[in-house]
Amino acid sequence: MIIILNESVTEEQIRHVAAKVEQLGLQPSISRGTYRTVIGVIGDETQLQSAPLAAIPGVAEVVPVMAPYKLASRTAHPKPTVVEVGRVKIGGGHLGMIAGPCAVENLQRMEAIAAAVRKSGANIFRGGAFKPRTSPYSFQGLGEEGLKILRDVGQKFGMPVVTEVVDPRQVDLVCQYADMLQLGARNMQNFALLTEVGRTNKPVLLKRGMSATIQDWLMSVEYVLSQGNSNVVLCERGIKGFDPATRNCFDVAAIPQVHKLSHLPVIVDPSHATGRPELIPACALAGVAAGADGVHIEVHDKPEEAMSDGPQALLPAQYGDLMDQLRKVAAAVGKQMS
């Protein structure tokens, strides 16, 4: 950490800042420039996280040298993490291809969709049993009944399943049925929920919040990692922009940026990023080309009858065509689908 002092700082204030650093068990290194004096802090920076150094008279700015997300940082874990969901690997050159409807509806429909996406090459089946909706009057999901349907369909077609958990009180219940726990964009900073899923042994899919910076995102994942669960996959699903042409702004640059900062795998969700089926294929291809470790796509056999997010779902045939293209891009960038 570097402490930058004011131009008008006095010698007494410099000594006071240095003494404060020493009180914390760290070593101050004073460097005097023509216009500024800085104090480098040598030692374990975690000792400074709760110390209000910026409030000390004479201090202009406190600049951390290391990332505040210690466990998620590539500095602490240079090799990429490979997350296993059932027999499916995500990361380290392996692509997790997640597909399915937004919400679990009924057994027959789920079986039809699962059969189609499995045939096209999807390796993880998704569906929401609990749906956090903007309106309290919208369909909220089937709850435990939906979890049972999702589990049974996944077992029938040999696919691990992922579903969203929206409340800390639901974690144990969802763990009984799901192979992977999803935390949606609205819950990215639900710290009680992050802590609770961090105490499980289930892989976690953490979506980026709608207005979250990359550091916000990585700090949220730190909550999960700090509880002992290291099996986390990040999901870029678009952030709020000013242009209403698409549902969200697909931040494709976040993929290589997160890979630079963190060892965790990153997948993309072009369904929520764009909200428009005709844009999903291009964004999915761009995501894999940019280094994504998988693609999360909503698929429905009759979108006009879907109980949630039907307008942004691909038809099974469209998903099949996209998967053919994704295989070519994956081969070009040296990745494979589990």
Task: Find all residues with CB under 8 Å of 92, minimum gap 6, and list them.
Answer: 80, 81, 82, 265
Question: pLDDT exceeding 90 applies to what percent of the chain?
Answer: 75
What pLDDT is attached to residue 46? 66
pTM value?
A: 0.85
- Lowest-pLDDT range, 6-20, 24-38, 171-185, 233-247? 24-38
CA angle 314, 316, 321 (to 5 degrees): 85
- SS3 for the chain is CEEEECCCCCHHHHHHHHHHHHHCCCEEEEEECCCCEEEEEECCHHHHCCCCHHHCCCEEEEECCCCCCCCCECCCCCCCCCEEECCEEEECCEEEEEEECCECCCHHHHHHHHHHHHHHCCCEEECECCCCCCCCCCCCCCCHHHHHHHHHHHHHCCCCEEEECCCHHHHHHHHCCCCEEEECHHHCCCHHHHHHHHCCCCCEEEECCCCCCHHHHHHHHHHHHHCCCCCEEEEECCECCCCCCCCCECCCCHHHHHHHHECCCEEECHHHHHCCCCCHHHHHHHHHHCCCCEEEEEECCCHHHCCCCHHHCECHHHHHHHHHHHHHHHHHCCCEEC
Q: How far apart are the first and last CA of the chain?
A: 42
In this model, does residue 27 exceed pLDDT 90? no
What is the per-residue pLDDT across 55-88, written as a single tens digit (0 to 9) for each? Answer: 899 999 888 777 788 899 987 788 999 999 999 9
More confident residue, 61 or 298: 298
Domain map of the chain by residue range? Answer: 2-63, 83-337
What pLDDT is attached to residue 160? 98
State the average pLDDT for the chain: 92
What pLDDT is attached to residue 141? 81
What is the per-residue pLDDT across 269-285, written as a single tens digit (0 to 9) for each? Answer: 999 999 999 999 999 99
Kindly indicate the confidence band of residue 311, based on its pLDDT and cuts at 50, 70 and 90. confident
Is 3.20.20.70 the CATH number for 83-337?
yes
* Cα gap 268→166, rounded to integer Å: 20
What is the per-residue pLDDT across 221-238, written as a single tens digit (0 to 9) for each? Answer: 999 999 999 999 999 999
What pLDDT is attached to residue 181? 98
* AA identity, residue 320: G
More confident residue, 110 or 25: 110
CATH of domain 2-63: 3.30.70.1140
